[in-house]
A and B are shown apart, each in its own frame.
Chain A
């Protein structure tokens, strides 16, 4: 009699245990998934807020309209080559002045200084990050990969405008390009 009761409670406890375990495992898998969900969430969040200085990666459409001549924005260009890419890469002019709403065209120079063919990819970033959402690229070499044969050189164009809505306190933007060697990734 007593043993029966003990058995029963033991079963009870086991049922209770597995219920709790199941719930906890749900949290475990949920949080594992949440870790991965953070990746697209972060992208969306940054897209909306421009937090990480990423600019548009699809060409913006420019329609000639208002130009706010009361404001002049300085746009500076800087370039950097990531470790391991033997290219020369620099802006042709270092900065331009532009009114919000006005379209500008600038050039960047690149030369493959090695004796092998390399595919490059330039990744842009705007500082201050909050300005990224207002920096609109109409045409950019960074939209595509850039293959250069050994010792080949090229001038690459960037066409852009600064949005009229750019917050008042921002008067200078820095557009930075980092150039990566993606030959390996393209091949495979």
Chain B
């Protein structure tokens, strides 16, 4: 792609970007600038990551040895529930929206997101949602204790009284996500620089485009199901109450009809980030670009017809079990296409191993392990054994932590020079990587065996034979938690200063974002670049 950049940022007169001049807190409250909003999303998600991580540390401290030491079982349930909710809706998803805000306009040569004011709103309602969720720890009821999947009747008949706050918080998160997603779709459809056809868009843009559609399709379902929960709990309806003619299994169907696409919402953007970084450090073009686009689209489509693989043990008829088993295994095909394309991209490339690349390679390997355990869980007969054990916990932490989270780290290191104008400290970055890599595997790999041996998830105590493995898992957990403080140090140091970053600090990097200065000026591409 050759580009002709005319985006000299002083060359536009008569524009009225008043937000530019504001200072202090007002700048952040009123800003409609995609870079400001992107930064806020990223910081927000990092803070949530630390809070959710702190909850996990308490969980692992309790599980360090058998018996009950630190917390009451009910509080333990609150910890696992809020940990899950914060990590999914507060850490992973906002981080990706942060990337979208920062990078999408620059990658498609647009001056900003299409709907800047909406953008401001979708960010600023988020802190309220999480204030409510986290605040419920300090209320009389206590925080939600029914699991991040909030199955009825745990969240209705047997709720500890936190359901209303929980529903309210989820509604706000949902509205924020929907507004963010609408913004992404409109931006990509209408703001591309002339000449950038759909099939010329970077794969990063494609994955966010498809993810945004998934969000628009399933977040309303989530809003619907929590609304039903609310009326069941407080207004006497019986959607999920068998006594009134409802069916609790229906809850699981509706929830997972949202829930499975949701897990792909958390991984497709990761695919986009990794597909940007691996070619850059292999100094080759991404292998099989168009097959990547189609694979992403087919994963998104298939994600709508596999939801009941979370429900194999609810007493489905044989036909249903077979149907959902085969559909689930089908997803492995486009996912495999992606993994092979990444490997083919690296094949015979002149590779270097800076921190973004290290995280990306770890992503490819460890995400694949998570995919394999997913395939095992997809086999109905064996899922009867694995369901609700630590094997499932191991599975989704491999895809979410060493998958989604590692891609976020990779992307952060990759674009930090563009964001701050300085190079991060490569040595510290590598220390962060190796500490994370070792501790994360110590943390999650033994969970596979614990699950196979029958240790149930979401229980604060366990049988003696699981003691040794749990001790190691907890040690891995503490080490992983501490390692993330290294990342915080790297980022702060990089913002403060360091070696000046050139416009394009990575030799093999491609894309419009590298044609503007580092740090990226407040306004970029006010005149669209030409692409041919």
Residues of A whose CB lies within 8 Å of any CB of B are: 3, 13, 16-17, 20-21, 24-25, 27-32, 34-36, 38-39, 42, 46, 49, 51-54, 57, 82-83, 121, 123, 127-130, 178, 180, 182, 185, 188
Contact = CB atoms under 8 A, between A and B. Distances in A.
A38 B257 contact: yes
B217 interface: yes
Contacts of B186: 17, 20-21, 24
**Chain B interface mostly:** helix
Given A21-B182, A24-B182, A35-B225, A180 B243 contact: yes
Contacts of A51: 316-317, 320
A130 B219 CA distance: 33
Contacts, number: 93
Given A17-B114, A42-B253, A123 B317 contact: no
Interface string B146-159: 00000000000110
Q: Which 5 A-B pairs have the closest CB atoms?
A: A35-B224, A180-B243, A32-B220, A31-B220, A35-B221
Contacts of B223: 32, 35
A21 B14 CA distance: 28
Interface stretch (B244-252, B287-295, B325-333): B244-252
A20 B243 contact: no
A32 B245 CA distance: 22
Contacts of B220: 28-32, 34-35
Given A3-B14, A17-B190, A38-B250, 4 more contacts: A20-B189, A46-B247, A129-B315, A178-B243
Nearest to A37: B224
28 contacts: A13-B190, A13-B191, A16-B189, A16-B190, A17-B114, A17-B190, A20-B186, A20-B189, A24-B186, A24-B216, A27-B216, A27-B217, A28-B219, A28-B220, A29-B220, A31-B220, A32-B220, A39-B239, A42-B247, A49-B317, A83-B157, A123-B243, A123-B245, A128-B317, A178-B243, A180-B242, A182-B244, A185-B244
Interface in B387-416: none
B115 interface: yes
Interface in B209-234: 216-221, 223-225, 228
A182 B238 CA distance: 12
Contacts of A16: 189-190
A28 B174 CA distance: 11
A130 to B, nearest CB: 6
Contacts of B254: 35, 38
A20 B221 contact: no
A83 B153 CA distance: 12
A39 B251 CA distance: 9
A123 B242 CA distance: 7
B329 to A, nearest CB: 22
Interface residues of B, number: 38
B14 to A, nearest CB: 7
B236 A82 contact: no
Interface of B: 14, 114-115, 157-158, 178, 182, 185-186, 189-191, 216-221, 223-225, 228, 236, 239, 242-245, 247, 249-250, 253-254, 257, 315-317, 320
A52 B189 CA distance: 44
**Chain A interface mostly:** helix
Contacts of A54: 247
Given A24-B216, A38-B257, A31 B243 contact: no
Scoring A49, A52, A130 by chain B CB atoms within 10 A of each residue's CB, the highest score goes to A52
A82 B254 CA distance: 24
Contacts of A49: 317
Contacts of B242: 123, 178, 180
Nearest to B187: A17
Contacts of B224: 32, 34-36
A129 B249 CA distance: 13
Contacts of A28: 178, 182, 216, 219-220
B213 to A, nearest CB: 8
Nearest to B242: A123
Contact of B243 (A32, A53, A182, A188): A182
A54 B253 CA distance: 16
A130 B317 contact: yes
A178 B219 CA distance: 34
Given A13-B190, A32-B224, A129-B317, A38 B216 contact: no
Contact of B315 (A27, A123, A127, A188): A127
B221 A39 contact: no
Contacts of A83: 157-158
A30 to B, nearest CB: 8
Nearest to A30: B220
Contacts of B217: 27, 31
A44 B103 CA distance: 47
A34 B253 contact: no
Nearest to A34: B221
Nearest to A35: B224
A22 to B, nearest CB: 10
B300 to A, nearest CB: 14
Contacts of B191: 13
A83 B115 CA distance: 51
Contacts of A130: 317
Contacts of B190: 13, 16-17, 20
Contacts of B189: 16, 20
Contacts of A38: 250, 253-254, 257
Contacts of B14: 3
A4 to B, nearest CB: 13
A59 B457 CA distance: 43
B32 to A, nearest CB: 15
Contacts of A30: 220
Contacts of B244: 182, 185
A20 B213 CA distance: 12
A13 B221 CA distance: 30
B236 A185 contact: yes
A121 B315 contact: no
A185 B242 CA distance: 13
B317 A17 contact: no
Nearest to B14: A3
Nearest to A181: B243
A30 B219 CA distance: 12
A16 B316 CA distance: 46
A39 B224 CA distance: 11
A75 to B, nearest CB: 18
A3 B244 CA distance: 65
Nearest to A15: B190
